[in-house]
Amino acid sequence: MLLSTLVAARDLGRLRHIAAVLIRYGFGDMVQRLGMADALEKAGHVLHWQSAGGLARLEAPVRMRRALEDLGPAFIKLGQMLATRVDLFEPEWIAEFSQLQDSAPTVAWDAVHAQLGADFGMPPEEAFAEINPQPLAAASIAQVHRARLKEGGEVIVKIRRPEIRPMIEADLRWLMRMAELAENEVPELRAFHPQDVVREFAQSLRRELDFASECRSAERIAQNFSAYDDAADMASLQAPGREDEKVGCGDTAVDDAGAVEKLQPIVIPAVYWQWTGERVCVQAFIEGISGRNLVAVDQAGLDRKVLARRGARAVLKMIVEDGFFHADPHPGNVFYLPGNRIAFIDFGMVGRLTADRRDQLIRLLLGLVKHDAHRVADVLLEWTGHVAVDEEALGREIEVFMDQYHSVPLKQLRLGGMLADLVAILRQHRLALPADLALLIKAFISLEGMGRELDPDFDMAGEAMPMLEKAMRARYSPRAVVKRGWQAVSEALALMVDLPQDLSRLLRAARRGRLEVHINVTHLKHVGNQLDKAISRLVVGLVVAALIVGSSIVMTVPGGPSLLGLPFFGLLGFVGAVIGGLWLLLSIRSSTRGGMD
């Protein structure tokens, strides 16, 4: 069944490797249930079902993480994406997926040099004053080299691994078909929408493969911060005795030409578009302290409270005000600069929120902060869509959950923890969040965790509250209400104008007998496939019976060609009946084994 869904036979080699890795890590039952074994056996591939004995003692999340690491770049990225799906997996699975490190052996400089030459139209030594052949870092999709422009300025050159796209595209084709099979063949997985998860992952990974798209995202976020100034807010947080230390937009610097330049509190690396394309991007080099090196932060005399609050406000601005945010704000993607400034890098994973989504998010967060269980329940039910759910039971659990925080002061609320507990309730009800919201909630949890690493007293709820209330006031301001009302009126008028024409088309189609009603019955295609298979077996059985009866009659008729002393045509009929019977028995045995699994 899987064989018929594969795009080309070339994917079978990769499928065999994937099946072998899953079996080795103790997931042979998954290979069977998804039909991978049957497909490979039909294609002539033999699977070895012995798994490594020592691995069996490991917990399932650990074995799955190690299997994803062995399967290569696309599967590592899939695991990293699944780490954001706190609505689908228990904490122990999320913890293992979060450990997936996007690292890989470096690509030889000769291969990198040749690809850069093809992209630039000249050798990289002619494009840059200097480029270091030794990479700064190597990941599964790209590796990074440091270079210096001819006009001055340090840059990083991010190069996509040669020949990585065909391999990833093959894996994405396989993943999409496996998600379809999982949704059809494994009923308990349907509530998690595996096809939607893989589709969202494929879109995200293809965007990540396009470095020009990543750079456009970086420039969009940089534009959103171009007029951002939080110096007044940050100054109130400075420790006594450090009031003379500048903390943001008030800082200035003098460049080589003697011009005074205002320093932004949030830094996004500049993009050099003359050298940037789909397979390579060139951005300004950030000279700062990695978010992972808190010891260096203290040694540099930076203020942790200011950094925690500034980073939180920046990400909240991206989410609540802009609707376009850095979706992976972990310490490895953050640098701390003099003046308590913050730089964000790596915009391969970004999140997008529509205006309606932002409204729902604001209502949810305000409901959590203000202990409004009804508001929280309403938003969650909107998010779960048309999935059948016991609304009364869900509402009761949310009320009990909110009661735990009823008398907790705002400063003591752990907003990330509350969101994680809330998602756990959805998981218990087998409800999955839309992919964009799952990414958002994971970003919130990561953000609060990073803030508390910098400052144990960090108050995420307190930082979010003013921005949420401001956004809510803006939504219900007279001007915004009038704008939405006018838009609704315009849409209603357009509908009324088009209504006569639509009715005319409907009646004309009915008179011509061309009126069609399409009914989408869930899994009807799967049922049809099963019926088709059963009918095929019945037809083969009838043909086998006819061959046996006909051959028996031919055997009694004298004359005609013979073989081994027997009538040739009668013997030929019996051979055909034996072949058909064996096929029928093997087909029934395969289905019975699949049903038992």
Domain ranges of the chain: 2-103, 105-138+141-228+264-285, 231-258+291-476, 482-510, 524-596
Which pLDDT value is given to residue 18?
A: 84
Longest Cα–Cα distance in the chain: 118
Specify whether the CB–CB gap between 343 and 337 falls below 8 A. Answer: yes
pLDDT for residue 595? 47
What's the confidence (pLDDT) of residue 45?
63
pLDDT for the residue numbered 337:
94
Q: Residue 4 corresponds to which amino acid? A: S
Q: Report the 3 state secondary structure along 299-362.
A: HCCCCHHHHHHHHHHHHHHHHHHHCEEECCCCHHHEEEECCCEEEECCCCCEEECCHHHHHHHH
Give pLDDT, residue 160: 92
Residue 597: predicted pLDDT: 44
The CB density around residue 402, as the number of other CB atoms within 10 Å, is 21
pLDDT of residue 260: 38
CA–CA dist 76, 348 (Å, integer): 15
Task: Show which residues are catalytic.
Answer: 328
Give the pLDDT score at 3: 41
Angle at 201 (CA atoms; ends 523, 431), nearest 5 degrees: 55
φ, ψ at 391 (rounded to 5°)? -60, -40
Non-local (6+) Cβ contacts of 283 within 8 A are 155, 156, 158, 215, 218, 269, 270, 271, 272, 345
pLDDT at 54: 64
Find the angle CA(420)-CA(378)-CA(88) to the nearest 5 degrees: 35
The DSSP 8-state label assigned to residue 436 in this structure reads H
* Beta bridge partners of residue 566, listed in sequence order: 563
pLDDT score of 269: 94
Secondary structure string (H, E, C) spanning 135-195: CCEECCCEEEEEEECCCCCEEEEEEECCCHHHHHHHHHHHHHHHHHHHHHHCHHHHHHCHH
User: Using CA atoms, how far apart are residues 363 and 383, in angstroms rounded to an integer?
Assistant: 12
The two three-digit tokens of residue 75, written as one number: 């599967």
Burial of residue 519, with CB atoms counted within 10 A of its CB: 0-12 exposed, 13-18 middle, 19 or more buried: exposed
597 residues of the chain, pLDDT tens digit each: 444 444 445 567 777 888 888 888 888 777 777 767 666 666 566 666 666 566 667 888 888 888 888 888 888 888 888 887 777 788 888 888 888 866 678 889 999 999 999 999 999 999 999 999 999 888 888 899 999 999 888 999 999 998 888 888 888 888 888 888 777 777 767 766 788 888 888 888 888 889 999 999 999 999 999 888 876 666 555 555 544 445 554 454 444 444 435 678 999 999 999 999 999 999 999 999 998 899 999 999 999 999 999 998 998 899 888 888 888 778 888 999 999 999 999 888 888 888 888 888 888 888 877 778 888 888 888 877 666 677 788 778 888 888 877 766 766 777 777 777 888 887 777 777 776 777 787 777 788 888 888 888 888 878 888 887 887 777 777 877 777 678 778 878 887 888 788 788 888 877 777 767 766 555 555 566 667 677 777 777 777 787 777 777 766 766 667 766 667 777 777 777 788 777 777 777 666 554 444
Beta bridge partners of 567: 562
Per-residue model confidence (pLDDT) at position 296: 93
CA 198 – CA 178 distance, rounded (Å):
9
263 burial class (0-12, 13-18, 19+ CB within 10 angstroms)? Answer: middle
